[in-house]
Structure 1
Amino acid sequence: MHVPDGFINAPVSAAAGVVAAGAVALALRGARRELGGTATGGQGHGGERTAPLAGLVAAFIFAVQMLNFPVAAGTSGHLLGGALAAILVGPYTGVLCVAVVLLMQGVLFADGGLTALGVNITVMGVVTVVVAYGLFRGLVLVLPRTRRSVTVASFVAALVSVPAAATVFTAIYALGGTTDVPIGKVLTAMVGVHVLIGIGEAVITMLTVGAVIAVRPDLVYGARGLTTPLKLRVDGELVDAAPTATAPATGTATPAAAPAVRSSRKLWITGVGTALVLAGFVSFYASASPDGLEKVAADKGIDAEVKPHAAADSPLADYGVRDVSDARLSGGLAGVIGVGATLAVGTGAFWIVRRRGTGRTTPAPAPATASTSASAGKAV
């Protein structure tokens, strides 16, 4: 659903840019809390592990967006990623993940207009995250507190988020479209095809969330609270057991935390490897049919004023490497470069956000004294 230059007029594009900039600024403030916090309550959702996971999520979304899947005769779809990012790393960080992906696609690969970047961030980033995460949290509250409920909720949230984004795009086009077309027909066509695309989005989101929950549920933002924290009786009061991430004196990992650290590293390596394989190899077999927006634009005539992309001369334009004649090699190299660039930019940006956020977090409680340590052994 990457909107190119020329679909939306300049005033509405500028207004969408202001909305997107405000949303990103708000997301930066919220992401400082999501990325900068330390593990509490035994949940282990600390910023030291969430920041690299957020960079990985951005790279994974970039890779999977290269895998267009057929949804109807002559039409394809691809992951938008807002629901997936919000559930894995939090809604604020999720907006930033999608924004990083869209920025890299627009600048390096001429995918999505630069003047339409605000529209794309608003539609593909903000709308999908807000709709998906709001619906996801509502479902999690009413469903049983199980991992299966999280995966079911992620499926429904992702499914609904895609036609919601299509609806908002149609509203923006009604305000600033550059061609005179019946908006009712555009809305019907956009929602209809994007419901089908939403099914693919839902399956990808559910499988990915389920895979991460299976190995590290503590790293899934939307799965917080599934595990009841260990309770200790200290001086007659029940308190949450303090996390054992580091030893107070040396700052080194304790033996209890070592498996989690190794598991996080294994998850990160597996995720990066999967993204590289998807972008560098599997993408060659993706559907070549136009995606939902492109198909509707061609059928309804809303692409009459489309403009050449400002980065059309990029050496990576259209997801190929210039001067590499072999299509498979060219596309594969472009995909690998895109994953690497998105991972580097995303991880770097999230580490900066996390470091700025750590100064605002509540200090960890002091280590228990000998007397409290003795009574802490009476766990219930």
Structure 2
Amino acid sequence: MNTERKRYDLTSADTKIIGTDYQFFYFINELLKLKKGQQLGYEVKDDVHIDLSCGKTTLIQLKHTTQKQANGETINLTELDDDLLHTINNWILAICDENDGRKSYDSQKNYVKNTTFVLATNKLIDKNPFIISMKKANGNNRNFKEFIVYLENLLKNCKGESSKECISNILSMNRVLLKEFISSIKIEVQADTIVNDIRESISNKYIRDEKINDVFSDIFFELKVSFFDKVNSGQKFIVTYEEWQPKAIAIFEKYQTTNLPIREFQKPLPSKLQEQPFIQELIEIGDIDEENIEEMAEYTGFMLEVEMNFKEWYDNGEITLQQKEKFHEIATTYWKNSHKKWHRKTISSNDIDHAIQCINEIRDKELKFDKIDFNIQLSNGEFYHLSNNRKIGWLKHWEERYKR
């Protein structure tokens, strides 16, 4: 078998790109979980870091691979893996960074005390002797001594200069400090599900499944542009909860209040159309003839279409009761203004002419629910619904005649 790699394989950047994308997706998912008083950084203190409101910090180093074993599983994280040793070494260099004010032992110990170090990787770690030994050493003096012996033997047997340097730096740490440091290290195995994890985080914000990808796209675009603008102007890409919240609200509300589907229903008309309260008043003011069953059925159909759509939206969780009631209130206000306008000079309690003028004006009114423009039939149906439920009327003293 020819094991030589093609030139294109050697120069291909796709695996590097996917590693960078993974980091950014991880950043997005953490941002969706950010809480008040916290801030999140990308490629600042580490690949990703979280500053908590209590003053503690979580540093997250992300190591992603596309390499697979013969059985199809992701490759193992070995004890001399650069992803492991270099990550720990970089943290040690940060702990002892004199340029960041950590020259003294006390300052280094305080830094470790207030920092959690996370290595998140999709490589398998179950059989890694370094991690097994390090975990055992956490909080146990005898096992800690065994961990030191393990590191010393590892140093003797490893051949790579880079690995030797990393292990030597670990062993050169003050033992008390090293013990506290390894107790602050967490190794997380990340399945290759980061995109679905983000989708789940979005779904948890009460976004419908069919809108999740739209929200995802808006968030990704917002953050990519923000990242470019900040870095291009020489700033660090750090996002505070207070900075992110209004942007997140704008994105989520855009899809939480999206256009509702107006559905067509088979409308079960009542057997006695004339006995409906809204029809009775229309007959009384002479708007329709008491024998005109066809017109009564048409108006009843408009009303039922509104009622059945609202019931469907509410039952499906597409709207809230408060939204529905607010819409009825707004429609009632339109009626109230028209009723007052046309009955301002009404003397007779049975002023049919003014009642007709009132309903004619109301019938020309096209309503809007959230972002939906109601057509004229739905708008008429809303006013018939209110009339049928004795919320509005056309005569000046309609309440005395029709309201229970």
TM over 0.5: no
Larger relative contact order, structure 1 or 2 (CA cutoff 8 Å, min sep 6): 1
TM-score range, shorter chain: under 0.3
Structure showing greater Rg: 2
Normalising by structure 2, what TM-score? 0.23
Higher normalized helix content (fraction of residues):
1
Higher normalized strand content (fraction of residues):
2
